[in-house]
Structure 1
């Protein structure tokens, strides 16, 4: 059975039978994981990462019996022999098992439609991007994220200036008033995400935000059916610095919003401080297409929940030359017509 984003249920592509994830677990447990209590998870964030290089491992297709080779970070894959989804449950046990998941809300047909629309927006976009062979590579993948609850404070001091001008009959003067400005700002941030995959570009992942966290669910293996998933490469602790930089920026911005009524604030000092109060290992949905054009790598990413797109757009050399020639000819004709009229 494959997870269907449209109905948010599991469906059999052969007999069309469907059921919810909870109904499936109540009836079958989680046989691939060998543990009916699939939702249990130690949220300590610990890891047995020894720093070794990734190794190749062999997995067996539960449908056709083929042996699949994948690196150690792959937690779910699709059989290249029969095309059926094959869950690799043992990659998600122990500390590598997520606590939360946002299931795909947009199916592949919707992702393909949005990808085609994106390619049509660029007149110089290569036509090869719309080929069936290219679109077949569009893949739904659950990207590993650490989500953090953070308590942040900022102690800000500075000098506020209010500058005004008074005009008289034959003169004017400027009045500058100085104020000591102090702010003590406190804020709590919930579930700030940071992608934990070394294969995904951090800036691109940040741009794909926001995700709607009201649709977060307890992780269960059936949600992965039909999709790829990556195991995290970075532990929760290894992401702390990235989260602190982000929350410290947020708390300073919050302090800035309180500085109203002044012409400017000078001699300012900030002392931001952040403390992580909770962390959650979660899988978030992304549609992804990696391709190469004219020797350069490009990536198309789409938020699998909201449809937001982050992508690089290649430029077709042939179309660029054609566009230049058309522009040149049109400009030349206009210049010649203008010259004839002038003469």
Structure 2
């Protein structure tokens, strides 16, 4: 059943305000702490809890690749039908704009243990986009004036956060090369070393996005999130935003995270082998133990912008403001840039030849 958090004062649908970090009514401006709202009012619905507001609907015909189960719900504010796929846990009515949460996608095994609430609101995200389009060495001058925001969505992306203990026993051969001059003769000495390292490390909350729709590389680049802002999960944080439950379980995502931990512990061990001219790793025996997994929802702004008939994605960390985005390239600026580099190189080579 979809849930709408109703204002105790005027009955309008309340949304989570990222600036106030509270539920806020857009109608009467009443604000209320998330925990206080749940304690005092629970879920206030616009309509009586009836069985008719959740009916199954599946695509006709044989289910093929890329198809999914859909459900039809009814908006608790205007009664319009809300069509949601099997992974949607929070949506917004396209008719009245009121937020709705799908409770069965946020309960039981799908209940997150924690959430980082949005710190950046919609207007701030738009301002960051407008500032970003004005930057870039090869960015077209007209991008800031001719690009349009086709769609902007605040999405709580499902992540698994992993705690690992890891250890590596690394062996390597290393060399120190030194040169000494005695009179007119220069001597080169090479000292050979057998290097051994036994390194232990603890990794906490290594993230992996568990959404099939989100690009893994983009989500990785949005890191880091500040985990000191993690709060125990409560559904009102999602009001006014989109959200999905995970597509992949913690077991299914673990192999990807193990590769990251493997890379981290290797980099740590390798970074201790200092003071050598060369280092060649001979063996790197790694063992790790997965101590704890946590299901969390993390905030991401997704903007789709259009420029000269082409779509470009702008993705923003909804907590820190870090940007990962496609940027159109001006062919004229690119050509001028590379011609300039070529001319500078030719001048340097010419001056070098004259000096000789």
User: Is the TM-score greater than 0.5?
Assistant: yes
> What SS class does the counterpart of residue 245 from structure 1 fall into?
helix
Structure 2's unaligned 5+ residue stretches are 1-13, 46-64, 337-356
> What SS class does the counterpart of residue 120 from structure 1 fall into?
coil
Q: What is the TM-score of this pair, normalised by structure 2?
A: 0.79
CA distance in 2, matches of 1:29, 1:145: 27
| 1:111 paired to 2:128 | no
Structure 1 pair 251–323 and aligned structure 2 pair: CA distance change class (3 A)? closer
Moved more, 267-276 or 248-257: 267-276
Moved more, 184-193 or 170-179: 170-179
| 1:2 paired to 2:19 | no
> What SS class does the counterpart of residue 128 from structure 2 fall into?
helix
- Aligned equivalent of 1:183: 197
Structure 1 pair 178–200 and aligned structure 2 pair: CA distance change class (3 A)? same
The answer on whether the counterparts of 1:54 and 1:73 sit within 8 Å (CA) in structure 2 is no
CA distance in 2, matches of 1:211, 1:105: 11
Deviation at 1:95, TM superposition (A): 1.0
CA distance in 2, matches of 1:130, 1:297: 10
Structure 1 pair 293–113 and aligned structure 2 pair: CA distance change class (3 A)? closer
| 1:19 paired to 2:36 | no
Residue correspondences, number: 302
Deviation at 1:170, TM superposition (A): 2.7
- Aligned equivalent of 1:69: 83
CA distance in 2, matches of 1:129, 1:217: 40
- Aligned equivalent of 2:159: 145
Deviation at 1:162, TM superposition (A): 1.4
Q: What is the TM-score of this pair, normalised by structure 1?
A: 0.82
- The two structures, once aligned, show a CA RMSD in angstroms of 2.4
| 1:123 paired to 2:140 | yes
Q: 1:167 aligns with which of 170, 181, 185?
A: 181
Deviation at 1:273, TM superposition (A): 2.5
Structure 1 pair 76–181 and aligned structure 2 pair: CA distance change class (3 A)? same
Deviation at 1:130, TM superposition (A): 4.3
Deviation at 1:295, TM superposition (A): 6.7
CA distance in 1, matches of 2:319, 2:260: 23
The answer on whether the counterparts of 1:119 and 1:129 sit within 8 Å (CA) in structure 2 is no
Deviation at 1:153, TM superposition (A): 1.0
CA distance in 2, matches of 1:312, 1:276: 35
Structure 1's unaligned 5+ residue stretches are 33-50, 326-343
- Aligned equivalent of 1:300: 314
The answer on whether the counterparts of 2:146 and 2:307 sit within 8 Å (CA) in structure 1 is no
Q: 1:271 aligns with which of 257, 263, 285?
A: 285
Deviation at 1:94, TM superposition (A): 1.1
| 1:92 paired to 2:109 | no
Q: 1:283 aligns with which of 274, 294, 297?
A: 297
- Aligned equivalent of 1:339: none
Structure 1 pair 113–267 and aligned structure 2 pair: CA distance change class (3 A)? closer
CA distance in 1, matches of 2:79, 2:168: 58
Deviation at 1:262, TM superposition (A): 1.6
